[in-house]
Structure 1
Amino acid sequence: MSNSSAPSSSLIIAQKAVKQLRLEASVRRIKVSQAAAELKTFCLQNAQKDPLLNGVPSSDNPFRPPKSCVLL
């Protein structure tokens, strides 16, 4: 026997889906062309700080290969 006063699981799932859809519908959206222009500007402004573009100085690189020691 199911309790008629308790909401069914499918009703709860549907309510959660509606809540999520309302949240997504309220998100402010911008045009792709505007987002691309802003991203390009950001990348150009921060290019000099990007270690993937400029590399990491060996003195600051914690992953540099260890120096080998030779005992004679």
Structure 2
Amino acid sequence: MSNSSSSSNLAVAQKAVKQLRIEAKTRRINVSQAATDLKNFCLQNAHKDPLLVGVPSSDNPFRPPKSCGLL
């Protein structure tokens, strides 16, 4: 194994260890708690969700253009 190859492998291993240490410090919660929090957030903000309540036509940038006809 060449010297540059071993130093490259060492750098990759050190980077992996650094990432694992960061992940080990991350605060974790149970999936059931995360799901409950997400459900509560969605229910609290449902009245502001345009997918649920719709978008007023005056605010909709994708509304069909009004045609103008000359009589």
Question: TM-score band (shorter)?
Answer: 0.7 to 0.9
2:62 corresponds in structure 1 to: 63
Q: Deviations over 1:23-50 (max 9, x none)?
A: 0111000000100011110000000000
1:62: how far off?
1.3
2:39 corresponds in structure 1 to: 40
Unaligned runs of 5+ in 2: none
1:12 corresponds in structure 2 to: 11
Q: Percent identity?
A: 80
Separation in structure 2 between the aligned mates of residue 11 and residue 3 of structure 1, nearest angstrom: 11
Q: What root-mean-square deviation, in Å, do the aligned CA atoms of Structure 1 and Structure 2 show?
A: 1.6
> More helix per residue: 1 or 2?
2
Instruction: Count the aligned residue pairs.
Output: 69
1:63: how far off?
1.4
Task: Tell me which stretches of 4 or more aligned residues in structure 1 moved more than 3 Å.
Answer: none
The alignment's TM-score, normalised by the length of structure 2, stands at 0.88
The alignment's TM-score, normalised by the length of structure 1, stands at 0.87
Separation in structure 2 between the aligned mates of residue 19 and residue 56 of structure 1, nearest angstrom: 46
Separation in structure 1 between the aligned mates of residue 8 and residue 64 of structure 2, nearest angstrom: 57
